[in-house]
A and B are shown apart, each in its own frame.
Chain A
């Protein structure tokens, strides 16, 4: 099992904070990349105190900074910036989500870093892209979601648009960024002429890309996609909705094929002849939806799920975190792991996803303390002499 780090040897520097940029680094770190995360010596990354806290410590940080090296560096000082540039020179990948104007002022922008490191891959996350009139406006995940079109199509037609219940734009951007870095890295490794790569990713673009039919539908029909509630506008006969059981658990049902609609009809006692064509199914879709709601509302969740499984109706409990931790499949997959942590003893969090059989990746630490890896990174990895290290420390530059 020697060298089972898929990305072992890949050097990543993060001049980035909060969610979207660092999450890209997190995916790379999970598969073995060396990820150095730069933070302000006094304040640290605001992500350290984002979300729910325990004993004055942010919990999310333990996950979002796991597997990383944390060093401090004051980018507001010239000496700090010089250190950051040295780190960027030895890096294969720089991930940033600072504003472009700020990076230019600090000489940590693509032009400056690429000049010193011609094979550099730089992932630059922004709110609105590198070359737009809004290039220097700050980016926010909720705005990215609103701009992508996804919020507009989530919710009921007569109700407000609904934001999905996690950092949707930020985290899918993080994943897209990790993919882009790996794709660029493939060329870096295999093309001797490789001249570096600037990956320019705006926060709204990933969700926009993923909603594949949105633009083409509008382009071809002039129809503006809108909210359809828990229905699929493309298949009006399908039984798709969320339902509450008698013991107050939510169930999602998603049965699209004509045969499965017949099975639902049979389950709630409807005559088979009323649902033997797609046209009839479409005409009775509301009736069937109501009957199913009434039936599920009258039984215990286990009974509802068992009966639907028996009838080959596609349904699932809508999992809460408690359901996840109790679930057999999650357990069999090893998706929930326990990691030792200085502050809390042990903490449970997600394992490495994706699972690669030969190079499985690992979580070897939770999010480290501020500046925890200063000595290792500056002295050992960068080769900074002790005197210089001490001087920069006392000057507050690192």
Chain B
């Protein structure tokens, strides 16, 4: 327990974070599974991330660099322990199983057949550790005939139905600008693991296998999709009388405006000089919607953002500037919430990144380190946690196992 809680970048905690006694081992790459581990680590779990001794996690070599150092890993690998294992070698697989014996939770997104050939599949690991909780993220799920096909977040987005509703004005589907399918899967995985932990201290707990396919989370989140089609067939969900749109100000700032109730649409109408009476019913709003949309476009387009946002606030029109990273860092609410933290990184010095979300007031999570160097925790994990001697470690290293 003590090893996890190293000095805190945010200060101010009153006790150990919620998941402090939870031990997790991760043999996983790319966003969908490792991000689940990071979310759990943010709330105090001890997460040991296994990487190839030579190549390391692929995420280490992705993204932009400064002074030759890629910094994405500093964020995605934060709060974790990094150890190296060559999982292609039988001795490496044995070492990984030792870590599974030590752990409460295993997180993986390797293919089923790969895990089976390595003896790191659910069946084997559940024998190794009968109380194991295993989160297995895959493209198509364990019970699918496509179980061994590789999984890709973008395909998950396409399969979920979300993409067919995310379109540019000309109807072309737009890919969300971040790994939406992967990240929401990770969040679902973190929820599932923490839910399974509810039973984990019961004497007869028999372990849990969480089988999560990459398309399922977005599918689950689009709650109305199936039932609407089931009951009414293809209906145009955009037939809502309310106005929701994105508009650009004279000084080229994008602003979103949204509404729902009759009154909220009337507020928009009055702002652009229309009579509220022309928008007093759902029917009238639907009829006049194209006109209102055009008027709002012109009204916002002929004013600077400050004036537009000021006027909207005055008239209780709901909307916002569309924030960029620069807006976020400059925003008072983000600042008040301390959502942007600064943490020292041994390679690049002070670096800003997201603080812990969700925020716990009594026992908050914390960011105690940035993404560690490859194998930075071999000594601690293999020595202290697994009880391997220095000689054994030397041998494993010489043989290229770690």
Q: Give 12 A-B pairs besides A154-B174, A324-B159 with Cβ atoms closer than 8 angstroms.
A: A6-B196, A110-B361, A142-B320, A176-B187, A189-B198, A191-B16, A212-B75, A221-B66, A230-B175, A324-B160, A329-B141, A353-B212
Q: Inside 8 A of A195's CB, which chain B residues have their CB?
A: 362
Cross-interface CB contact of B354 among A129, A178, A215, cutoff 8 Å: A215
Q: Is the CB of B198 within 8 A of A354?
A: no
Q: Inside 8 A of B155's CB, which chain A residues have their CB?
A: 252, 254, 314-316
Q: Is the CB of A320 within 8 A of B64?
A: no
Interface of A: prevailing SS = mixed
Answer whether residue B76 sits at the interface, using C-beta atoms and an 8 A cutoff: yes
B252 to chain A, nearest CB (A): 12
Answer whether residue A31 sits at the interface, using C-beta atoms and an 8 A cutoff: yes
Chain B proximity mask over A210-229: 1 for CB below 8 Å, otherwise 0: 11111111111101111111
Cross-interface CB contact of B211 among A185, A187, A357, cutoff 8 Å: A357
Q: Inside 8 A of A167's CB, which chain B residues have their CB?
A: 221
B250 to chain A, nearest CB (A): 15
Q: How large is the interface on B (under 10, 10 to 19, 20 to 34, 35 or more residues)?
A: 35 or more
CB-nearest residue of chain A to B356: A209
Cross-interface CB contact of A140 among B198, B206, B318, cutoff 8 Å: B318
Cross-interface CB contact of B208 among A175, A254, A357, cutoff 8 Å: A357
CB-nearest residue of chain B to A230: B175
Answer whether residue B286 sits at the interface, using C-beta atoms and an 8 A cutoff: no
- How many chain A residues touch the partner (CB < 8 A)? 139
Q: Is the CB of B176 within 8 A of A175?
A: no
Of the stretches B82-90, B323-331, B393-401, the one at the interface is B323-331
Q: Is the CB of B194 within 8 A of A183?
A: yes
Given that A143-B320, A202-B337, A210-B183 are known contacts, is A318 also in contact with B63, CB under 8 Å in the complex?
A: no
B389 to chain A, nearest CB (A): 32
Q: Is the CB of B208 within 8 A of A160?
A: no
Interface of B: prevailing SS = mixed
Cross-interface CB contact of A165 among B75, B162, B206, B211, cutoff 8 Å: B162
Q: How far is the CA of A289 from the CA of B11 in the complex (A)?
A: 50
Q: Inside 8 A of B159's CB, which chain A residues have their CB?
A: 316, 319, 324, 327, 329
Cross-interface CB contact of B198 among A7, A216, A227, cutoff 8 Å: A7
CB-nearest residue of chain B to A254: B154
Chain A proximity mask over B87-125: 1 for CB below 8 Å, otherwise 0: 000000000000000000000000000000000000000
Q: Is the CB of B66 within 8 A of A220?
A: yes
Q: How far is the CA of A247 from the CA of B239 in the complex (A)?
A: 26
Q: Inside 8 A of A149's CB, which chain B residues have their CB?
A: 323-325, 328
Answer whether residue B68 sits at the interface, using C-beta atoms and an 8 A cutoff: no
Q: Inside 8 A of A155's CB, which chain B residues have their CB?
A: 168, 174, 177
Q: How far is the CA of A200 from the CA of B189 in the complex (A)?
A: 21
Q: Inside 8 A of A220's CB, which chain B residues have their CB?
A: 64, 66, 71, 348, 351
Chain A proximity mask over B132-145: 1 for CB below 8 Å, otherwise 0: 00000000110111
Q: How far is the CA of A146 from the CA of B318 in the complex (A)?
A: 12
Of the stretches A60-68, A296-304, A386-394, the one at the interface is A60-68
Chain B proximity mask over A35-69: 1 for CB below 8 Å, otherwise 0: 00000000000000001101000011011100000
Q: Inside 8 A of B381's CB, which chain A residues have their CB?
A: none
